[in-house]
Amino acid sequence: MRIDTRFHSAYGQRIESLVVLVDALTGEIDELGDSIAHMFRHHAGYHAIQQLPGIGPILAAVFVAEIGDVHRFTSAAHLASWCGLTPRHRESDTTVRRGPITKQGSKLVRWAAIEAAQKLRRDSWLHVERERLAERRNSRAIAKTAIARKLITLVYYGLCDGEIRCLQRAA
């Protein structure tokens, strides 16, 4: 596909080649999106977690594929720990030290949860919660991590039950 460019120099050629590249990549992205939708069309948990703010078809597929059988985790806290989204806890006798998140476990699930937590729409209840936490803790990073942990908890229940009941009560 040739485009009518105003630039007749090397810049115009570069822009034209980038447009061709973007068109090719858009076609591949659409094909992958269609194959993901076809693969998970009967997966109740996949459709349930897409109702969460910040989670679309791609992130939902990441969660389903990486977590696998969610019933191997005894609780949502166990899944959050597996993702590396729980604070480090060191304890000796009466001294307790809490630190940053452990970052042990699945990097891809942790990335997806953090990505979903920072790309929330302004009208979502999790965005309001994130902003409240950021103001209270004086740290946007801590607030993002806390919301990511909350999202992982909701993902756990969505994958277990095929529905997220707290969203139904809010509606």
- Residue 3 to residue 116: CA distance in whole angstroms: 36
Element (H, E) at 122: none
Q: Which amino acid is at 20?
A: V
62 neighbors 112 (Cβ within 8 angstroms): yes
The reported pLDDT for the residue numbered 149 is 94
Residues 115 and 131 occupy one common structural domain? yes
Domain count, the chain: 2
The reported pLDDT for the residue numbered 169 is 62
16 neighbors 3 (Cβ within 8 angstroms): yes
pLDDT in tens, the chain (171 residues): 555 546 667 888 888 889 999 999 999 999 998 999 999 999 999 999 999 999 999 999 999 999 999 999 999 999 999 999 988 878 888 888 877 888 888 899 999 999 999 999 999 999 999 999 999 989 998 899 999 999 999 999 999 988 888 776 655
- Residue 64 to residue 69: CA distance in whole angstroms: 8
How would you class 94 by CB atoms within 10 Å of its CB: exposed for 0-12, middle for 13-18, buried for 19 or more?
Answer: exposed
Residues 85 and 149 occupy one common structural domain? yes
The reported pLDDT for the residue numbered 115 is 95
Residues 154 and 75 occupy one common structural domain? yes
Q: Which amino acid is at 32?
A: L
Nearest of 85, 74, 90 to residue 142 by alpha carbon: 85
Residues 83 and 23 occupy one common structural domain? no
Q: Which amino acid is at 159?
A: L
Half-sphere exposure of 74 (CA within 13 A, CB side): 2
The reported pLDDT for the residue numbered 96 is 81
164 neighbors 154 (Cβ within 8 angstroms): yes
Angle at 24 between CA 22 and CA 39, to 5 degrees: 115
Which residues constitute the domain of residue 93? 44-170
Residues 35 and 66 occupy one common structural domain? no
